[in-house]
Structure 1
Amino acid sequence: MNVQTATATKIMPDAQTVTSVHHWTETLFSFRVSRPRSLRFRSGEFVMIGLLKDDGKPLLRAYSIASPSWDEELEFYSIKVPDGPLTSRLQMIEPGDEIILRPKPVGTLVLDALLPGKRLWMVCTGTGVAPFASLLRDPETYEQYDEVILAHTCRTNAELAYGRTLVEALPDDPLIGELVGDKLKYYPTTTREPSDCEGRISDHLRDGRVFEALGTPAWDNSEDRVMVCGNLALNKDIMSICEAHGLLEGANSDPKHFVVEKAFID
Structure 2
Amino acid sequence: MAQWLDAKVTKRIDWNDHLFSLRFQCADFPDYTPGQFTKVGIEQDNGVVSRPYSLVSHPQDKELEIMAVPVEDGVLSPKLHELQENDDLKVMAPATGFLVLNEVPDSDNIWLIGTGTGIGPFLSILADSEIWLRYKNVILVYAARHQNDLAYGDFIQQCQSQYASQFSYVPIVSRDKADGMLHGRIPALLQSGQIIQQAAQPLDAEQSQVMLCGNPQMIEDAMDVLKSMGLKKHLRRSPGQISQERYW
Q: Is the 8 A contact 1:113 1:253 kept in 2?
A: no
1:42 maps to a residue whose letter is T
Q: 1:182 to 1:37 in 2, by over 3 A?
A: farther
Q: 1:254 to 1:48 in 2, by over 3 A?
A: farther
Q: Give distance in 2, aligned partners of 1:121 and 1:182.
A: 15
2:156 to 162, 167, 172: 167
> In the alignment, what sits opposite 1:63?
53
RMSD: 1.9
> In the alignment, what sits opposite 1:18?
9
> In the alignment, what sits opposite 1:201?
186
Which consecutive aligned stretches of 4+ in structure 1 deviate over 6 angstroms post-superposition?
Answer: none
Per-residue CA deviation, residues 84-107 of structure 1 (Å, 9 max, x unaligned), is 110111001111111110112221
Bigger mean CA offset, 68-77 vs 134-143: 68-77
> In the alignment, what sits opposite 2:43?
52
How do 1:126-165 residues align onto structure 2 when only pairs under 5 Å count? 126-160=116-150, 162-165=151-154
> In the alignment, what sits opposite 2:19?
28
2:30 maps to a residue whose letter is L
The 3-state SS of whatever aligns with 2:99 is coil
> In the alignment, what sits opposite 1:91?
81
1:186 to 150, 169, 176: 169
How far is 1:254 from its partner?
A: 6.0
Q: 1:38 to 1:79 in 2, by over 3 A?
A: closer
The 3-state SS of whatever aligns with 1:105 is coil
Q: Give distance in 1, aligned partners of 2:65 and 2:78.
A: 19
Q: 1:34 to 1:255 in 2, by over 3 A?
A: farther
Q: 1:202 to 1:38 in 2, by over 3 A?
A: same
Structure 1 residues without counterparts, runs of 5 or longer = 1-12
The 3-state SS of whatever aligns with 2:95 is strand
Q: Give distance in 1, aligned partners of 2:216 and 2:129.
A: 30
How far is 1:166 from its partner?
A: 2.1
> In the alignment, what sits opposite 1:113?
103
Q: Give distance in 2, aligned partners of 1:230 and 1:141.
A: 20
Bigger mean CA offset, 33-42 vs 138-147: 33-42
* Residue-pair matches, total: 244
| Structure with bigger RCO (C-alpha 8 Å, 6+ apart) | 1
How far is 1:134 from its partner?
A: 0.6
The 3-state SS of whatever aligns with 1:127 is helix
Q: Give distance in 2, aligned partners of 1:201 and 1:38.
A: 35
Establish whether residue 248 from structure 1 lines up as the match of residue 239 from structure 2. no
How far is 1:83 from its partner?
A: 2.3
Q: Give distance in 1, aligned partners of 2:97 and 2:188.
A: 27
Q: Give distance in 2, aligned partners of 1:38 and 1:190.
A: 36
Q: Is the 8 A contact 2:6 2:26 kept in 1?
A: no
2:233 maps to a residue whose letter is E
2:193 maps to a residue whose letter is G
Q: Give distance in 2, aligned partners of 1:71 and 1:227.
A: 23
How far is 1:56 from its partner?
A: 4.2
Structure 2 residues without counterparts, runs of 5 or longer = none
How far is 1:182 from its partner?
A: 2.5
Q: Is the 8 A contact 2:5 2:29 kept in 1?
A: no
Q: Give distance in 2, aligned partners of 1:72 and 1:60.
A: 23
Q: Is the 8 A contact 2:5 2:26 kept in 1?
A: no
Q: Give distance in 2, aligned partners of 1:86 and 1:37.
A: 23
> In the alignment, what sits opposite 1:10?
none
1:167 maps to a residue whose letter is I
